[in-house]
Chains A and B, each alone.
Chain A
Amino acid sequence: MSEKGKRIGLTALIVVAALAIVATIARPSDWGEIGHYRTSAIDDELKRAFTNRGNSSCRECHENIYELKGTDAHKTLECEGCHGAYSAHIDAAGKKFADMPASRKERQIELCLACHKHAPGRSTELIKLIYYPAHLRDQNVRLTHTCDQCHTVHAPLETIKRSGYKLNQESDTNR
């Protein structure tokens, strides 16, 4: 073999060996046990933390509200849907807090209307829908009223039923 041929051969050998070493070091130890991936990637995904704990977890401390909510139309709602996740319930200092939409006027109206305002595609068979602010006018209240001035947020018709007030049902459907 010529000198040139030997040199090319040696270079090729070194390149292949280097690649083999790099491949061995770079490849994760558990690669390819089940398929063409890292087996521990499944464990990584399993380790992900829960943010929401569900209504039964809220019930442990807020039994009265849980029961009230169960009596009316809002019984299908998740507490954490309006109040924020459990994981954000206790801060680093150990202080408990939650998102209280009812305490802020604009936020409260925005949150209620996210579900309850008429929009193309929404069916009145599924949910009570209103026009805003026409609903306030039709029910003879001031336009500055917030939703929770008439509706108990956890059981929307509770106080209205108890007061015996006759709702203007027509107003929200014929428009």
Chain B
Amino acid sequence: MKNEARRDFARLASLSNDRVAKNDSVINSIENRARADAKNTRRDFARATLKGLGIGAMTLLIPLNRSLFAASLHPDPEREKELRALGVAPEKLYVFMVNPASCIGCGRCVVADRGEYQVPPEQFRTWVERYLVDYDRKVYVDSPAGGENGYAGAAPAIAPEKIKEAFFVPKLCNMCDQPSCVQVCPVGATFRSPDGFVLIDYDHCVGCGYCLQACPYGVRFLNAETGTADKCAWCYHRVTKGKNPLCVDVCPTKARKFGDINDPSSEVARIWRSRARLRVLKEEIGNEPSLYYIDASEEIV
């Protein structure tokens, strides 16, 4: 997408510069074809091409976060009715934001989460990864025990003097607006609730594991104790009672933020309005996550 745009602009620049355009073999071949068509002059052709490229470039200006705009500005009446029936306030639109720059990799979130959901050992609903970037821009990711014991005892994947950049990236369910795990579930055991949470019906799940493969973020696992699929639920039971997800509350550096983006006084709404750049993971897949990474670098997304 970005490379295409760059190429388009490069061509636009070369077209405007006649001398450069003549040296460009691609442009020359297009011109030859245009000359063969007796009705079109070279000038007409260049004008038409420029116009087309200009309109094409304007589409790049359309905001990328369609879902967020759509949900806050144009509420779906059908969805609103469903929500009212459940006693859920439909004007609430929960988002999760993670600030990798604030995370120190202490692992308190992983510990708290394990307690809250009785997650079996060596399995994780949420975990913390560490990205190490060396001077050749090569990326190494490590996550000893999911970051649960902190990163103090763990030796990094590469020698410390080779590390150019290092940062921690907490991972959890992305709560997609278009969840692929829900789409593939053969028995309807995982679903997107009317208030936008992707949940699992543990009594209905047959443990086939299809959703584990469908999730582009790898947040799902087969619970070793219950035998069903399992994943982070953004502490649905806490959120619906007006609390934050537990990992948000225990985070000592406030690297994890949660709230209703339609409430202008909430922290997430403030960040949404601020200049901070919010990015989602694997945007090109089109799952439209509600989990945003604040000022995330290219390696993370």
A residues within 8 Å of B by Cβ? 28, 31, 34-38, 41-42, 44-52, 54, 76-78, 80-81, 84-85, 87-88, 110, 113-117, 119-123, 126-127
Contacts and interface: CB of A to CB of B under 8 A. Distances in A.
B272 interface: no
Contacts of A48: 236-237
Contacts of A78: 108, 112, 249-250, 252
B137 to A, nearest CB: 16
A77 B254 CA distance: 10
Contacts, number: 130
Nearest to B165: A121
A50 B237 contact: yes
Contacts of B167: 121
Given A119-B151, A126-B253, A127-B252, 4 more contacts: A38-B188, A77-B252, A120-B160, A127-B253
Contacts of B111: 81
Given A46-B236, A120-B132, A52 B107 contact: no
Given A44-B203, A115-B150, A35 B237 contact: no
B45 interface: no
Contacts of A123: 101, 104
B104 A126 contact: yes
A51 B116 contact: yes
A83 to B, nearest CB: 12
B166 A44 contact: no
B253 A76 contact: yes
Interface in B226-255: 233, 236-238, 240, 243, 246, 249-250, 252-254
B194 to A, nearest CB: 6
Contacts of B190: 37
Contacts of A47: 237
A126 B163 CA distance: 20
Interface string B188-218: 1111111000011111100000000000000
B125 interface: no
A161 to B, nearest CB: 21
Contact of B152 (A44, A88, A114): A114
Contact of B204 (A34, A41, A126, A127): A41
B150 A113 contact: yes
A52 B201 contact: no
Contacts of A87: 115
22 contacts: A35-B192, A36-B188, A37-B189, A37-B201, A37-B204, A41-B191, A42-B199, A51-B115, A51-B116, A52-B112, A52-B250, A78-B250, A81-B111, A85-B116, A87-B115, A110-B149, A114-B150, A115-B150, A119-B105, A119-B150, A119-B156, A120-B166
B233 A45 contact: yes
A90 to B, nearest CB: 15
A110 B150 CA distance: 9
Contacts of B101: 123
B151 A122 contact: yes
Q: Give me the 9 closest cross-chain CB pairs, A-B, nearest first.
A: A114-B150, A41-B201, A121-B166, A117-B152, A37-B191, A48-B237, A120-B166, A115-B106, A119-B151
Given A42-B199, A44-B201, A81 B112 contact: yes
